[in-house]
Structure 1
Amino acid sequence: MGKAAKGKIPLIFFNLIILIGLSIAYLVFAKNRNQQKTYFDLKTAPEAQTVEELKYLDPAVGAKASLHTDFSVSQTSRWYLDNLTGTGWVLDVPPQNPSDEQVQMIQLAKGVDRLSISLINDGSGGTEVIFEKSGDPNAGSEGEDP
């Protein structure tokens, strides 16, 4: 083998290792990207990204989670309303105007617990989703974690 061929073998091997590494990373991150999280027994809207999670010590205050999705306010609202079945939550107060693309509020109830879902237009066609759960102030620490 000539010197030129010997010099190319390590370069080809290095490129092959890089390609395999990038392929594995893509497969791992692509799998995790499409997983839906669950907050308060509700799945998040498809491809929603968690922005913040808070759990307060006071059970009367409950917990809060903030998400962002690229779907519009009305699409996100419809998704949550359509996916209540089997969660134990019941619609307490529906959105005043389901076609509103700026702000919508959904109120859910489960026993003594209440869950507010605020949907706010992010200014670029997406939606900020804020879950705020509160429970009975006399319930102790029986509330669910986010």
Structure 2
Amino acid sequence: MKVHWLALLFIVGLALSIPSVSAKVIEEKDGYTVTTVENAPSRFADVFALTSYTITQGQTRWHTTSVPSGATRFFSNLNWGTSANSLALTLYTPDASVLGPYYDPADGVIDGRIYLMVTRSGGLPSGTWSSKVYGSSVTGTQTYSYSASGY
């Protein structure tokens, strides 16, 4: 039983140590609300993004995410960490809505990151969500991480 209490104390401590984040609505379309999370701790990128990819000028890379029924939020985290290059992110929902494209300055900060949360009144459609990452202005090859999750 001590292990469970220690785990609970650890989780509560971690939750209290995470700085608050604020959101700004950047798009409302087809019943969806897309907000960007400002001042998101960089450690979130480390937790969510486990795989690195590369992209070049004009190249498109696709990523898919399975969203379960009953999901109310979809998080998308594109991080390339430099403002020298520009990537764009477009989200495609299972009900054929297209959200975006979104660019680095969407959150008011040019930092090589696009971190979004998508919600919809009544919940999100379950199924496969597709994310398109486009190299809109890339010199050479740009490494990036991408992760998405619906719950």
Q: How does the TM-score come out when normalised to structure 1?
A: 0.31
Which has the higher Rg, Structure 1 or Structure 2? 1
Higher helix share: 1
Q: How does the TM-score come out when normalised to structure 2?
A: 0.31
* Higher relative contact order (CA closer than 8 Å, sequence separation 6+): 2
